[in-house]
């Protein structure tokens, strides 16, 4: 008789919990709360009721009370399925709050095994994958992988779970295992093609230095995902086509073409910021197959070419066919490759080295082909004094770049660099404060806009983005730098001086590009110290919100770019 009563109570509680979930989803919080409290009067340790009540309290901004209920729900959860569900919710909330220390603490709890007799439904399966991701973010890679492998045992044909295991293997630096896992998933989904999966294969191959697989994967991604074209929205009056050589597979995690094609620099930033007025699409041009996808795209009113690195254009070996492809649209082009090929690092120095007040450090391209190590060292030393900078031909954002102070460090740099590379004379530019500074200007047609100023204790200066917490903290502690940046961006002629601005404008006129960035500084002697010009820079802000770049400067730049784009379209029509 007692057993029958217990079964009845359990059935009643299950029905009440279901009703509470329905009420909660319909935002009837008051009635849901009443029902959950009724359950807890009978079963004070019911983990599901505690979890649901915590959600209601949290939505009412009673966060401390909600967190206490979630802790209790984890303590009293006897069934693994309930524990994992409640832990997923709690970790998600903690990370959303930025309470990473608490999230890491609770993620380290000992987890039960998933019952192998219980096959998760779709909702449970999705929640487990998300929980595994949260555990991994807290550094619990082994727990995350173990949980996924237990679920995989109940769903052996689930490719998303398998792919999630591969991602954890990558984080564990088990690259060969990860590559095997991703390749198995890739075979399982054929003939379907998943771009994010190809990116994972590419990243695993890169970690294993498997250049052949990297190349074939990039070509396959280009052929199988050659374009992106979202539906046109109201207000988008003109079509803008972005030209890319191949998808960005080095960081892609989104399972769509947008994640691989709209990434990395200012054309992609424009797509985000100007989508209310312009319709953006993109096409990859690295293979003949990808170039045939033009019939899937609207005819462009304007083209923004993102195949602009001169060194990459030279290495492609098909500049003529690329130019013919772009010209076939019969539309105005920003940064045409025919012009961009004349803006390599060494050619740029030749273009500007006679401008008064400009220090344009000597830059020479070298090759290891048919040269011994000793001959190459002698060749470099005959043209440069230590220290100097050795850098790869096309890497950006300070990657592939090292300062060489002596012959020993030169030998190491040569071992690390590819066959062809650049050497640039290093010019000491540390200010009396002991800090280095980098000023960035943007050229838009005939206009020049000073848009940001960064400082650093190191000669290699990075932007203050979220991913570089050191630079963020550095500028948070020095608000005077942000104030100085705002003054420079607002009144560059007054703050930097007329000779500097005239030199900047002259450089803008001489570089054969339409929209690009210039990095420089002003020395203590009042000279213009040139760092680089680049058409693939992030010209719009990537700064952490706590240390923003000049908002007014960004507004002026965005307005200038819009006007320039409109003017090109109007002239063509």
Mean pLDDT of 159-166: 96
CATH class, domain 436-565, is alpha beta
Share of the chain above pLDDT 70, in %: 94
pLDDT at 532: 93
Higher per-residue confidence, 15 vs 489:
489
Mean pLDDT of 81-108: 93
Q: Using DSSP, how many helices (H) and how many strands (E) does the chain show? A: 26, 14
Sheet holding 333-334, edge to edge: 227-229, 278-284, 238-244, 302-305, 333-334
Q: What would the DSSP string read from start to end of 437-459?
A: EEEEEEEETTEEEEEEEEEESSS
Distance CA 541, CA 531 (A): 20
Q: Two tokens at 58? A: 């949290």
Q: Write the CB contacts of 559 (distance below 8 Å, at least 6 apart in sequence).
A: none
| Other Cβ atoms closer than 10 A to 213 | 17
pLDDT at 259: 45
Buried b (16+ CB within 10 A) or exposed e, 60-72: eeeeeebbebbbb
| Fold that domain 2-110+121-210 belongs to in CATH | 1.25.40
pLDDT over 90 (residue 536): no
Tell me which residue of 436, 311, 426 sits closest to 361, measured CA to CA: 426
pLDDT digits 0-9 by tens, 511-520: 999 999 999 9
Q: Phi and psi of 78, rounded to 5°?
A: -90, -35
User: Which segments of the chain belong to CATH 1.25.40.10?
Assistant: 2-110+121-210
pLDDT over 80 (residue 318): no
Q: Are 460 and 398 in contact (CB under 8 A)?
A: yes
pLDDT at 3: 39
Q: What is the enclosing helix (H) or strand (E) of 334? A: strand 333-334
Distance CA 40, CA 54 (A): 12
Q: Write the CB contacts of 385 (distance below 8 Å, at least 6 apart in sequence).
A: 425
pLDDT over 70 (residue 16): yes
Distance CA 20, CA 14 (A): 10
Tell me which residue of 419, 386, 416, 415 sits closest to 403, measured CA to CA: 386
3-state secondary structure of 45: coil
Is 362-425 a domain of CATH 3.30.1490.20?
yes
Confidence (pTM): 0.79
Distance CA 542, CA 567 (A): 27
Q: Are 543 and 465 in contact (CB under 8 A)?
A: yes
Tell me the pLDDT band of 401, cut-offs 50, 70 and 90. Answer: confident
pLDDT digits 0-9 by tens, 251-303: 655 444 444 455 568 888 898 899 999 999 999 887 888 888 888 899 999 99
Sheet holding 363-367, edge to edge: 363-367, 420-425, 388-391, 401-404
pLDDT digits 0-9 by tens, 114-153: 999 999 999 999 999 999 999 999 999 999 999 999 999 9
Buried b (16+ CB within 10 A) or exposed e, 181-209: bbbebbeeeeeeebbebbbbbbbbbbeee
Which of 209-213, 394-398, 444-448 shows the lowest per-residue confidence on average (mean pLDDT)? 394-398
CB-based burial of residue 530 (10 Å sphere; 0-12 exposed, 13-18 middle, 19+ buried)?
buried
Distance CA 553, CA 559 (A): 10
* E-only strand ranges, 102-246: 227-229, 238-244
pLDDT at 344: 87
Of these ranges, 187-191, 283-287, 291-295, 372-376, the one predicted with the greatest mean pLDDT is 187-191
User: Which segments of the chain belong to CATH 3.30.470?
Assistant: 436-565
Q: What is the mean pLDDT of the chain?
A: 89
pLDDT at 272: 87
Q: Two tokens at 86? A: 């409640």
pLDDT at 398: 56
Mean pLDDT of 458-468: 86
* E-only strand ranges, 102-149: none
Mean pLDDT of 319-331: 92
pLDDT over 80 (residue 342): yes
pLDDT digits 0-9 by tens, 406-428: 999 898 888 877 788 899 999 99
3-state secondary structure of 129: helix
pLDDT over 80 (residue 232): yes
User: Which segments of the chain belong to CATH 3.30.1490.20?
Assistant: 362-425
């Amino acid at each position: 008789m007692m057993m029958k009563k217990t079964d009845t109570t359990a059935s009643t509680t299950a029905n009440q919990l279901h009703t509470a979930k329905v009420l909660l989803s319909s935002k009837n919080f008051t009635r849901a709360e009443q029902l959950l409290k009724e359950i807890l009067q009978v079963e004070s340790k019911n983990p599901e009721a505690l979890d649901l009540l915590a959600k209601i309290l949290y939505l009412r901004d009673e966060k401390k009370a909600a967190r206490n209920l979630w802790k209790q729900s984890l303590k009293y959860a006897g069934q693994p399925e309930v524990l994992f569900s409640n832990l997923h919710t709690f970790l998600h909330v903690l990370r959303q709050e930025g309470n990473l220390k608490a999230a890491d603490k609770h993620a380290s709890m000992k987890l039960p095994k998933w019952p192998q007799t219980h096959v998760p439904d779709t909702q449970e399966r999705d929640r487990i994958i998300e929980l595994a991701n949260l555990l991994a973010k807290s550094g619990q890679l082994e727990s995350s992988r173990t949980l996924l492998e237990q679920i995989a045992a109940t769903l052996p044909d689930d490719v998303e779970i398998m792919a999630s295991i591969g991602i954890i293997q990558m984080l564990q630096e088990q690259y060969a295992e990860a590559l095997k896992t991703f390749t198995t998933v890739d075979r399982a989904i054929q003939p379907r093609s998943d771009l994010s999966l190809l990116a994972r294969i590419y990243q695993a191959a890169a970690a294993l230095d498997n250049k052949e697989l990297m190349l074939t994967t990039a070509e396959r991604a280009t052929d199988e995902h050659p374009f992106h074209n979202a539906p046109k929205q109201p207000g988008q009056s003109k079509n803008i086509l972005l030209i890319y050589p191949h998808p960005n597979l080095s960081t892609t995690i989104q399972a769509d073409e947008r994640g691989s094609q709209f990434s990395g620099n200012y054309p992609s930033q424009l797509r985000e910021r100007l989508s209310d007025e312009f319709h953006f699409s993109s096409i990859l041009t690295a293979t003949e197959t990808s170039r045939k996808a033009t019939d899937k795209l609207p005819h462009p009113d304007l083209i923004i070419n993102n195949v602009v690195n001169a060194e990459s254009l030279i290495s492609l070996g098909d500049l003529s066919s690329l130019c013919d492809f772009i010209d076939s649209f019969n539309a105005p082009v920003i940064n045409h490759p025919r012009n961009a090929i004349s803006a390599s690092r060494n050619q740029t120095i030749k273009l500007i080295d006679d401008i008064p007040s400009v220090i344009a450090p000597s830059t020479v391209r070298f090759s290891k082909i048919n040269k011994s190590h000793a001959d190459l060292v002698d060749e470099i030393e005959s043209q440069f004094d230590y220290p100097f900078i050795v850098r790869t031909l096309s890497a950006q954002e300070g990657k592939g770049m090292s300062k060489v102070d002596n012959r020993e460090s030169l030998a190491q740099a040569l071992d690390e660099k590819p066959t062809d590379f650049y050497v640039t004379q290093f010019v000491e530019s540390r200010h009396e404060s002991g800090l280095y500074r980098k000023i960035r200007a943007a050229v838009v047609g005939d206009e020049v806009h000073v848009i940001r100023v960064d400082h650093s204790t190191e000669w290699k200066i990075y932007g203050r983005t979220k991913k570089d917490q050191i630079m963020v903290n550095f500028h948070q502690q020095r608000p005077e730098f942000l104030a100085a940046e705002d003054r420079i961006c607002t009144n560059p002629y007054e703050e930097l001086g007329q000779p500097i601005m005239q030199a900047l404008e002259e450089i803008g006129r001489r570089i054969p590009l339409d929209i690009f960035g210039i990095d420089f500084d002003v020395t203590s002697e009042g000279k213009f110290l040139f760092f680089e010009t680049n058409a693939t820079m992030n010209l719009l802000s990537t700064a952490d919100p706590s240390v923003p770049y000049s908002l007014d400067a960004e507004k002026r730049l965005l307005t200038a770019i819009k006007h320039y784009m409109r003017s090109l379209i109007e002239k063509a029509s």
